[in-house]
Structure 1
Amino acid sequence: MAKETRTFAVIGLGAFGGAVAAELARFGNQVIGVDLDEKRVTQMASTLASSVILDTTDEAALREAGVDQYDVALIAIGRDIQASILTTMNLKMLGVETIWVKASNKTHHRILSKLGVDRVILPEQEMGRHIAQMLNNPVVQDYVSLGNGFSVVNIGIPERLQGKDVAALGIGSTYDLRLLGLMRGTEYRPCDNSDQVLEFGDKLIMLGKRPELRRFGDAL
């Protein structure tokens, strides 16, 4: 019988790990939080299905806590690179299906990549790129990188385009982009019809390569 939800183990309940664990739980997933710090574990006890004080460099302790039974593990251990690496190796040996790890620096990143984890995260760098993208072009209110040069961006409609229709934007003709739809407040509206009239404050959901998205944003 297929599982209705995936199960997650979040190891390291600092600011980053704690936020991820809480959000995963809010989405209805079963989440276990693990940390050596009793205070952090206690703080998450009412939010998560389970939270335990555990030395994750001890493979036997991980197995005893049942961490090997979880589908996905996020290792969000802070500055203790040795503990992060040993924990990663333990989870690999325990057969955890998917492992994501927060890296502290580029050297840590390289080591984790050699260990064959599914994804290495550098939160500060990723958030820095995210913020730079929005600062560089104020009409870009949010974006997600899809890899291979493609991104989905959220672009605000300026006041001067109030009352114009979607066709006036030149999407697909002047610009090699795809319009996935728009958000008007909290309402999603498809844009299959190019006669859709724009309102100031609408947010276009655009798919395309970054240089073309930048060119479109600059023109707005």
Structure 2
Amino acid sequence: MKREFAVIGLGRFGGSICRELSKEGMEVLAIDSTEAKVNEYRNIASHAVIADATDEKVLKELGIRNIDHVIVAIGEDIQASILTTLMLKELGIKKITVKAQNDYHEKVLTKIGADQVIHPERDMGKKIAHSIISSNILDHLELSDDHSIVEIKAGKKIVGKTLIALDIRANYGCNVVAIKSMASNDINVSPMATEEIKEGDTLVIIGADKDISRFEKQLVIED
């Protein structure tokens, strides 16, 4: 059964989400107050409408209550973002994800009941910074302000060693939750302590950012 989504605000962030959800075969209601933007997504989203999302009557007429998940991607108008989120909450939407412009905006959104708050620019900045620091950092997913999951390509310092020899949890405070093998393309979830790291392997590590950073600097970044 297809899940139903609504994306409010079709700027770069909202438009990108709309495209990707549509590619995955999801039912997407695309909403924006600008006719040109809505016209751009008429052949992409399931439905694309010109509407003022700060008008509760309009939201009801659009049948927003029947949507599983609403993404509020309104650009720089923080007031409109907050009002829209508040009305969606009052209408009983199951899940509301909102793009935040700054930390103050995030605090307000969290207080009024947003289920997930995203800082696209800040989060992408962190990911890019990690990739700049080391070519071994393949991906970075922020779990909270202080914890992340990272995919790290095994470097010379750890290739040929076992997890028990490295003792990453005791020495660095983070955990190896999976190892991806380049040779076989297999993913070993919860690897044994005796697992030997081979050239080309990718380690999936979870932990506090400060601990992962220490691990990166001491065992991953090549001298």
- Normalising by structure 1, what TM-score? 0.82
1:180 maps to what in 2?
A: 177
User: Gaps spanning 5+ residues in structure 2: where?
Assistant: none
- The question of whether the paired residues in 1 share the 8 Å contact of 2:86 and 2:113 is answered with no
1:19 Cα offset (Å): 0.9
Distance in 2, Cα, partners of 1:204 & 1:126: 21
- The question of whether the paired residues in 1 share the 8 Å contact of 2:179 and 2:191 is answered with no
1:85 maps to what in 2?
A: 82
Structure 1 stretch displaced more, 174-183 or 159-168: 159-168
- The question of whether the paired residues in 2 share the 8 Å contact of 1:159 and 1:201 is answered with no
Query: Residue type matched to 2:3 in 1?
Result: R
**Do structure 1's residue 112 and structure 2's residue 109 form an aligned pair?**
yes
1:213 maps to what in 2?
A: 212
Q: CA 1:63/1:218 → structure 2, altered by over 3 Å: closer, same or farther?
A: same
- The question of whether the paired residues in 2 share the 8 Å contact of 1:35 and 1:52 is answered with yes
1:9 maps to what in 2?
A: 6
- The question of whether the paired residues in 2 share the 8 Å contact of 1:137 and 1:218 is answered with no
Distance in 1, Cα, partners of 2:106 & 2:189: 40
Distance in 2, Cα, partners of 1:117 & 1:194: 40
Q: CA 1:83/1:177 → structure 2, altered by over 3 Å: closer, same or farther?
A: closer
1:167 Cα offset (Å): 4.3
Distance in 2, Cα, partners of 1:158 & 1:202: 9
Q: How does 1:74-153 map to 2 (within 5 A)?
A: 74-147=71-144, 149-153=146-150
2:35 maps to what in 1?
A: 38
1:128 Cα offset (Å): 2.0
- Normalising by structure 2, what TM-score? 0.81
- Give the percent of matched residue pairs that are identical in Structure 1 and Structure 2: 37
User: Gaps spanning 5+ residues in structure 1: where?
Assistant: none
1:192 maps to what in 2?
A: 191
1:13 Cα offset (Å): 1.0
